[in-house]
A and B are shown apart, each in its own frame.
Chain A
Amino acid sequence: MRIRVAHLYPNYLNIYADRGNIAVFERRASLRGHALDVTAVEPGDPLDPSAFDLVYVGGGQDREQALVAPDLALRGDALRSAVAGGTALLAVCGGYQLLGRGYRGRDGSWLAGAGIFPLETAAGEKRLIGNVLLEVELDGKRVTVAGFENHAGRTLLDPGATALGRVLAGHGNDGSSGFEGCRVHAAIGTYLHGPLLPRNPVLADWLLARALEHAGGDGVLEPLGDELERVAHAVAAGRARSRSGRSAIRDVRPGARAAWRSARP
């Protein structure tokens, strides 16, 4: 089958290897005889998200996020109805924040989001950085998801909202709730990059299956070997569980000396 993918703002939101996630979708689809048809959507381009089976939004630096935010906010209604209609969606880091209701900056400024996920984000004083390990329930099965997070934002889910998973190691949405990410229908938002999908093939296949269903298929994907993926997952999970691999919370205030003193040969 053809899986129609809309990749939002690839020229702006690409900081954490987002094209790796697209490459994983492409290869895992093609190994099962399906083809990915990827459309890049930049600010101002026409987009009917319901005509797509999968939407991808990556992460960007603050500057790039601010440049695309107004365009994304205008697409909120269309994206919401596409997600309600079963379009799968993956939003990582900055994309995740921008698909919430909005982002409160340290100076009190408000950047309106698209409102797909029931959450808000506020800038914190310190960045939450390091390897993360989650426990996620997919189709009734518990799996672990390993990634890397690096965000100043503290994301607060609305009461009753569904998180992507429980934090086994790392910081997660806000560093204190014990939850990470958000799920609405087949839409997933998360801080985990690394990129996320190469070492978490179960999650990649879950999203592909939802996209295939939206395209009119039965959403059944035969398993692949995934030996390398399992090794990479295990190494990344080990990093998250070990103290050194979690790394520090870095102070982002001007003149902060903590990172400065860290040893670099």
Chain B
Amino acid sequence: MTVEHYAKTASGAERSGVIPEPATGALAILQGRVGSERMGARLTVETSAARLVGRLSRAAGRGGGTTLPGKLLWKIDPGAVDALAARLPAGVAVVSATNGKTTTSAMLARILGARYRLAWNNSGANLASGVASTLLAARDADLGLLEVDEFALPEVIQHVRPRVVSLGNLFRDQLDRYGELEHIAERWRDAVAILPSASTLIVNADDPLVADLASGRGGSLRFGVDDPRLARPVLQHAADSKYCVRCGEPYRYAVAYVGHLGDYQCPACGHARPQLDVSARSIDLQALDASAFDLVTPAGTARVHLPLPGLYNVYNALAAASVALALDASLDEIVSGLGAFTAAFGRFERIEAGDRRILMLLIKNPAGANEAVRTLEEGGVPRTLVIALNDRIADGRDVSWIWDVDFEPLLEQAETIIASGERAAELALRFTYAGFPSSQLEVIPDLREALDRGLSLVPAGEELGVLPTYTAMLDLRAIAVARGLVRPFWEGTP
């Protein structure tokens, strides 16, 4: 392929009105040029080339081709991302968090999908390249809906200048890739500092480090859980921000909900959870199936029926509701959007496998895995479990986090656990040293074999619990796709 060929394709595209507007300022500054017509042509050439790469990549069967075009565009001209974002008439909403960003964005897509055409990175491609690819692919979108990797947040905000940013939580996660929590918080502080003053910042008030990012900033929305009946008796082992962000004293928690999320106060300097603008009250967790809660907002209160289990999903719903409010959605739209939600792929997914079912819950860090365990505990622990640990870059090369997960309720109740994935032996050691009997433990690194073995142990009509890390989840899903049990993720939008 030659540059001329791209140019030809591009001019054709331009005539047909696919990319109607010339590129704007940032692009010109970066290229040191003026003249909007030339700029427009150049952007068109680049974006068409990048789109073509996406099609080729998908045709070659490489992971849906979701990040390659963006990588290419980023290489040729990162300023083009500014121009693509600036074209969206309703602006951009950005969602970030250690846990729950994919689910929160998917909830938002449900709520806002009727009102806006979305440029949404629903394949989970949440680095700069994925953001660029998404903006490239959605030609006629009104609103950008972007889940963004925690580490990538400052640079993405700098380029897309979002109208709304939601910061959900910070938990220890892949320390080999992200570094320490405080370093991510530092990057988030930088990101908040460059956020346009007209933009709405949304923070989780129950997370001390995250809530503090909005202190002193006008036009912020703070969400949190307000239902002490759901308190956990003690802070979890992996709780992170236990010490006052201002003075270092241990916080006193009136209530701890998920990890270090809760109603905290510093006994020394008085730093405490701020007032909640958006909250969940009278929460009713219905085992593995659903939850219901009163959504209390400045626009009124309404009962939400969420077809997802777990308190962590109530947090995700609160983040989504806050973003939707900031984008002027009505309470009715929010309630019906959340009520019609189906889980983001692999996070919590039931897959029919003949006369048995697979119940898949993603685990990727201690806080998230603890909630997966809690969800299974409340819904009834399946008798047979496959737990799969990979250590590729997206999973984290460092597997030490499995020792910080409170797997114990599963170990007490499961009859058989199959440890799988590339680091299956480490996982098996985690369970063995916790006292799980070796007679009930099988080590099968190959995911396909582990899945088949697990299904063979499950009686007809029952469920196999599967808890994979990120890349193990993708591989397991690919196995399910190959067997015709589910659709590929890039086709399966909720």
- Residues of A with Cβ closer than 8 Å to B? 11, 14-17, 19-20, 23-24, 27, 61-64, 67, 127, 129-131, 148, 150, 193-195, 198-199, 228-229, 231-232, 235-236, 239, 245, 247, 250, 252, 254, 257, 259-265
Q: Do A63 and B243 contact each other (CB < 8 Å), given the known contacts A148-B397, A194-B400?
A: yes
Q: Do A27 and B182 contact each other (CB < 8 Å), given the known contacts A14-B237, A19-B237, A231-B425?
A: no
The residue of chain A having its C-beta at the shortest distance from the C-beta of B63 within the complex is A265
Do B177 and A259 have beta carbons less than 8 Å apart? yes
Q: Do A265 and B125 contact each other (CB < 8 Å), given the known contacts A27-B435, A228-B429?
A: yes
Q: Is the interface of A mostly helix, strand, loop or mixed?
A: mixed
Do A17 and B402 have beta carbons less than 8 Å apart? yes
Do B176 and A150 have beta carbons less than 8 Å apart? yes
Complex: how many Å from CA A23 to CA B433? 6
Question: What distance in Å separates the Cβ of A132 from its nearest Cβ neighbour in chain B?
Answer: 11
Do A130 and B432 have beta carbons less than 8 Å apart? no
Does B180 interact with chain A (Cβ within 8 Å)?
A: yes
Complex: how many Å from CA A191 to CA B126? 32
- Between A and B, 19 residue pairs with Cβ closer than 8 Å are A11-B242, A11-B250, A17-B401, A20-B433, A23-B434, A61-B181, A62-B180, A131-B397, A148-B176, A194-B398, A198-B433, A229-B429, A239-B391, A254-B186, A254-B187, A254-B190, A261-B127, A261-B129, A265-B63
Do A194 and B399 have beta carbons less than 8 Å apart? yes
Most buried by A among B63, B429, B443: B429
Do B237 and A130 have beta carbons less than 8 Å apart? no
Do A265 and B428 have beta carbons less than 8 Å apart? no
The residue of chain A having its C-beta at the shortest distance from the C-beta of B186 within the complex is A254
Do A20 and B242 have beta carbons less than 8 Å apart? no
A250's partner among B66, B172, B179, B443 (CB-CB below 8 A) is: B179
Contact with A along B439-483 (1 / 0, CB 8 A): 000010000000000000000000000000011001000000000
Complex: how many Å from CA A193 to CA B124? 30
Do A262 and B177 have beta carbons less than 8 Å apart? yes
Do A20 and B435 have beta carbons less than 8 Å apart? no
Name the interface residues of B386-405: CB closer than 8 Å to any CB of A. Answer: 391, 393-394, 397-404
Contact with A along B147-163 (1 / 0, CB 8 A): 00101100100000000
A228's partner among B127, B172, B391, B428 (CB-CB below 8 A) is: B428
Complex: how many Å from CA A233 to CA B147? 37
Q: Which residues does chain B contribute within 8 Å of A247, judged by CB atoms?
A: 176, 393, 397
- Residues of B with Cβ closer than 8 Å to A? 63, 66-67, 74, 123-129, 149, 151-152, 155, 172, 175-177, 179-183, 186-187, 190, 237, 242-243, 248, 250, 391, 393-394, 397-404, 422-423, 425-426, 428-430, 432-435, 443, 470-471, 474
Q: Which residues does chain B contribute within 8 Å of A229, judged by CB atoms?
A: 429
Q: Which residues does chain B contribute within 8 Å of A20, judged by CB atoms?
A: 400, 403, 430, 433
Q: Which residues does chain A contribute within 8 Å of B243, judged by CB atoms?
A: 63-64, 67
Do B474 and A198 have beta carbons less than 8 Å apart? no
A63's partner among B155, B176, B177, B182 (CB-CB below 8 A) is: B182
Q: Do A27 and B433 contact each other (CB < 8 Å), given the known contacts A235-B425, A262-B177?
A: yes
Most buried by B among A61, A127, A193, A199: A61
Complex: how many Å from CA A64 to CA B123? 36
B126's partner among A129, A235, A264 (CB-CB below 8 A) is: A264
B474's partner among A150, A228, A265 (CB-CB below 8 A) is: A265
Do B128 and A195 have beta carbons less than 8 Å apart? no
Q: Do A148 and B400 contact each other (CB < 8 Å), given the known contacts A15-B175, A235-B423, A252-B183?
A: yes
Do B155 and A260 have beta carbons less than 8 Å apart? yes
Do A232 and B429 have beta carbons less than 8 Å apart? yes
Complex: how many Å from CA A17 to CA B124? 28
Complex: how many Å from CA A15 to CA B183? 14
Do B474 and A195 have beta carbons less than 8 Å apart? no
Do A150 and B403 have beta carbons less than 8 Å apart? no
Q: Which residues does chain B contribute within 8 Å of A239, judged by CB atoms?
A: 391, 397
Q: A20-B430, A62-B180 are in contact. List 11 more A-B contacts (CB 8 A).
A: A15-B175, A16-B400, A23-B403, A63-B248, A67-B243, A127-B179, A194-B399, A229-B429, A235-B423, A235-B425, A261-B128
Q: Which residues does chain B contribute within 8 Å of A252, judged by CB atoms?
A: 179, 183
Q: Which residues does chain B contribute within 8 Å of A262, judged by CB atoms?
A: 127, 177, 393
Question: What distance in Å separates the Cβ of B351 from its nearest Cβ neighbour in chain A?
Answer: 20
Do A17 and B179 have beta carbons less than 8 Å apart? no
Do A150 and B128 have beta carbons less than 8 Å apart? no
Do B394 and A260 have beta carbons less than 8 Å apart? no
The residue of chain A having its C-beta at the shortest distance from the C-beta of B392 within the complex is A244
Do B124 and A62 have beta carbons less than 8 Å apart? no
Q: Which residues does chain B contribute within 8 Å of A231, judged by CB atoms?
A: 425, 443
Q: Which residues does chain B contribute within 8 Å of A235, judged by CB atoms?
A: 422-423, 425-426
Q: Which residues does chain B contribute within 8 Å of A15, judged by CB atoms?
A: 172, 175, 180
Q: Which residues does chain A contribute within 8 Å of B391, judged by CB atoms?
A: 239
Question: What distance in Å separates the Cβ of B421 from its nearest Cβ neighbour in chain A?
Answer: 11
